[in-house]
Structure 1
Amino acid sequence: MIDPTAKLSVSRQAIILGISRGSVYYTPRPVSDADLKLMHRIDKLHMEFPFAGSRMLRGLLAQEGFKVGRLHVATLMKRMGIEALYRKPNTSKPAPGHKIYPYLLRKLPIIRPNQVWAMDITYIPMARGFIYLAAVLDWFTRRVLAWRVSITLEADFCIEAVEEALAKHGTPEMFNTDSHTIGASSRVV
């Protein structure tokens, strides 16, 4: 693209093409023999243990006598385009057919307790899978009114948390939920 023999200077050609002048002179360094050997072994280990990330692979490589750090393994994995395969939580997909409610709280001043409650679900990664935590909060006081944990994303533990909050603290004027977890953005109770 850049022609050093052209009438325009290399700097001007780089500006016209919208690239940095430094990139014109850059020549990629070849991969060292040691890294090629390491990448070959990482590839073999990844095929055998597709769930292994850079930490586990570094440990496996250390057992085989390779002296390599985790960050170097992560860099080589990125260069090779491989990543650990494992089950990720699926909490952000709304259920098909769920109605999207308008966000009613955008400019609402929250000035007293029990005016607006919020509920959200988060996940806590464990050795095998996830634990899910549902919490009901009062937006004014920032207090957790009720919470539950579960090993599944069934609705029961969320309903139990809401029922406990209602029993202990009465009924709020508004109950806000995150549209990514339960399916509604705001509802008037």
Structure 2
Amino acid sequence: MTTLKERYKRISLSRLCLLFGMTRQAYYQHYWNFEERQFEDSLVVNEVQCIRKSHPRMGGRKLYELLEPFILEHQIKMGRDALFELLAANHLLVKRRKRRVYTTQSFHWLRKYPNLIKDLTPERSNQLWVSDITYWKIVTGYVYISLITDAYSHKILGYQVAETLEAIESIQALEMALATLDQPIDELIHHSDRGIQYCSQGYVKLLQDRGIQISMTENGDPLENAIAGAAPLSE
């Protein structure tokens, strides 16, 4: 008993073309076009690999600009989208490096304060304030948000949104938080990382003038600042 595969082997090309409703000329034209596309793709891939040797991080758009003379010279019809698909199929697209945003700059000469809140569990509001800076990605870049949070209630007492990380922005957030106090608070601790904003003269003076104790993380690691955190609000 013959198999289906063996039966098709006995069918001539003319018979197959008739079965699929195409001429022998159309079949050969399709085959030649396929072979030609494969050859052109191979030429482009080889050229890209040569460019990658000198420019391993070059993006697809820049590559297309460099390849245009080569594509025209070899009369290859290939648009930018087709090039991107070819690069992806051959694993030649460059992965974007995720930009890391740093909101803490703790390598400075200003005085840094000891950590006063080890093993401290707040038992009331206005016992411990935690300060930090997070960021929000927008179309044009990033905005930075200075926050003052009450560790007991988790209420945000002060905030300031700005396009820079200048100390004045954190100072304005602190002033907003201080305005919520109707009277001086005994034993209030302000905790933050060792960022230059919190060690600045203006920020420290505001705290000292109100009799607020200053506490900072020991190594500048924002992960120590568990309540406020330094993670982005949104991507």
Given the alignment of the two structures, is residue 182 of structure 1 paired with residue 182 of structure 2, yes or no?
Answer: no
TM-score, length of structure 2 as denominator length: 0.46
Alignment partner, residue 207 of structure 2: none
Q: Which runs of 5+ in 1 are unaligned?
A: 1-32, 51-60
The Cα of 1:96 is off from its aligned counterpart by 1.8
Paired position in structure 2 for 1:122: 134
Q: How does 1:5-154 map to 2 (within 5 A)?
A: 39=49, 43=55, 45-46=58-59, 63-66=80-83, 68=85, 76-77=93-94, 89-154=101-166
Q: CA RMSD in A?
A: 4.0
Inter-partner Cα distance in structure 2 for 1:130 and 1:100? 27
Q: Are 2:161 and 1:155 aligned?
A: no
Larger radius of gyration: 2
- TM-superposed CA distance for 1:104, in Å, is 1.1
In structure 2, C-alpha distance between the alignment counterparts of 1:111 and 1:99, rounded to whole Å? 29
How many equivalent residue pairs?
A: 140
Cα offsets for 1:145-187 (capped at 9, x unmatched): 1211001112222111111111113555101112246355xx7
- The answer to which structure has the higher helix fraction is 2
Q: What percent identity do the matched residue pairs reach?
A: 22
Change (3 A) 1:179 1:74: farther
User: Residue 46 of structure 1 aligns to which amino acid in structure 2?
Assistant: G
Q: What CA distance in whole angstroms lies between the structure 1 residues aligned with 2:129 and 2:84?
A: 53
TM-score of the aligned structures, taking structure 1 as reference length: 0.56
User: Are residues 159 and 71 of structure 1, via their aligned partners in 2, closer, same or farther at CA, if it must alter by over 3 Å?
Assistant: farther
Change in Cα spacing, 1:124 to 1:41, as seen in structure 2 (3 Å) is: farther
Secondary structure in structure 1 of the residue aligned to 2:109: coil
> Equivalent residue of 1:68, what SS?
helix
Structure 1 stretches of at least 4 aligned residues deviating more than 6 Å after TM superposition:
69-75
